[in-house]
Amino acid sequence: MHLNGWQRIGIVASVIWAIGAPIYLDSVAQQEAIGAFTHYYQACLDNPIEFEQCLERARWAYNTVTRYPLLSANGAIAALVPVGLAWLLAYALVYLGRWIRAGFKH
């Protein structure tokens, strides 16, 4: 099978996306989780009477942020769905361009 230059670029970009997207999304989610925990924890420090309940809410806020580990369902969706859609869009645009050019050849 012979691949042209654009297909090779697409394969490299797909692999980079499939590895990089879940890592990036998970790091952003981690920062968001830390931010949520910090927000609730600061409220705990302001009200030491209900510290245990407040700390439990801070843990809950930290744990409810959606994560994207590389080897998980969320990570796989974040990595593979955009790659598949990008390839479908690219081939649809190539087909459309060839169809339009064929109309001008008469």
What's the number of domains the chain is made of? 1
In a domain, 27, yes or no: yes
* Per-residue pLDDT tens over the stretch 6-19: 899 999 999 999 99
In a domain, 84, yes or no: yes
Element (H, E) at 11: helix 5-46
What range defines the domain where residue 74 resides?
5-101
pLDDT at residue 11, as a whole number? 94
* Per-residue pLDDT tens over the stretch 8-64: 999 999 999 999 988 898 899 899 999 988 888 888 877 777 778 888 888 888 888
